[in-house]
Amino acid sequence: MKKGTKYALMLGAVPFLTLVLALPLVNRERPVILGLPFLLFWILGWVVLTPVFLYAAYRLEKKYNPPDEEDGP
């Protein structure tokens, strides 16, 4: 597997870990953060952070395996 793909996959795994696997650990209403019950705050936080991780994956992939002619721009 190419280096860029490996890094990208690791970053792409984050939402699956936080938004699926971690759910039993965060299934609670309190503490209330920014007015939101804890479970909803957790979910929303990781949803909003996902683009950050995906953007990092995008940059890394581009750096290590540059797109060929067909893929751009």
Partner 1 sequence: MNVALVIIAAVVLGSVALGIRAGRRVPMNLENWTVGGRRFGVIIMWLLMAGEIYTTFTFLGASGWAYTKGAPAFYIIIYGTLAYTLSFFILPAVWRAGKRHGLHTQPDFFIKRYGSRALGVLVALIGVLSIVPYLQLQLTGLGFIVEVASNRAVSSAAAIVIAFVLTCLFVFTSGIRGAAWVAVVKDILMIAAVAVVGIGVPVMCFGSVGNMFKTLMERMPGYLAFPGGTPNLGVTWVMSTCLLTGLGFYMWPHVFGSAFSARSAETIKRNAVIMPFYQIPILLVFFVGFTALLVAPGLKNGDTAFLALVQKTYPPWFMGFVGAAGALTAMVPASVLVLFASTLIAKNIYRTVFAPGAGEDRVIRLARIMVFVVMILALTSTFFFRKELVYLLIFGYDGVSQFFPGVVLGLFWRRATKQGVAAGLLTGVGVVVGLIVAGRDPFLGLNAGFVGLAANAAVTVLVSLSTKSASGGWE
Residues at the contact surface with partner 1, assessed by CB under 8 A: 8-9, 12, 15-16, 19-21, 23-24, 27-30, 32, 34-37, 39-40, 43-44, 46-48, 50-51, 54-55, 57-58, 61, 67, 70-73
Phi, psi of 27 (to 5 degrees): -80, 70
Query: Can you tell me the distance from the alpha carbon of 33 to that of 51, in angstroms, rounded to the nearest whole number?
Result: 22
Least Å distance, CB 45 to partner 1, is 11
State the nearest-atom distance from the C-beta of 14 to partner 1, in Å: 8
CB of 32 to partner 1, least distance (A): 7
Q: Are 66 and 5 in contact (CB under 8 A)?
A: no
Q: How far apart are CA 19 and CA 68, in angstroms?
A: 33
